[in-house]
Amino acid sequence: MDNQYLLGIFVVMGVATFMTRLLPFVALTQSQSHPLLVRVGRVLPPMIMVVLVCFGLSSLQIESLDRLGLSVIALTAVMTLQLGIGNPLVSILVGTGLYTFGIQWLGIS
């Protein structure tokens, strides 16, 4: 394979990806106030957060009580921040930061 062929493949993949991301926005511009879309837009973010938390907790490896305590502290911080300020990005970053700080700098293993 030469470089031109690979470049062509990447261009086609990029255009296809862009089109699949653009299509829902173009197709649904006339239906922005449809009750089903309004409900999905309101319910989907919390559902995604629940799936992420369940996935994160299910893959968590707890070898000691220290790590369990650290996990509970990080999860409590995430839930408190989410309920308090309602910003998922801040909640996730603070929870991840607390857990990472405990694992890396406090030496909890």
33-58 per-position pLDDT tens digit: 888 888 888 898 888 878 887 887 78
DSSP string, 8-53: HHHHHHHHHHHHHHHHHHHHTGGGTT-HHHHHHHHHHHHHHHHHHH
64-90 per-position pLDDT tens digit: 788 888 888 998 999 999 899 988 889
> Residue 109: pLDDT band by 50, 70, 90 thresholds?
low
> How many Cα atoms occupy the beta-carbon half-sphere of 27 within 13 Å?
7
pTM of the model: 0.56
Give the model's pLDDT for residue 103: 86
Round to whole Å and give the CA distance between 10 and 1. 13
Round to whole Å and give the CA distance between 41 and 1. 45
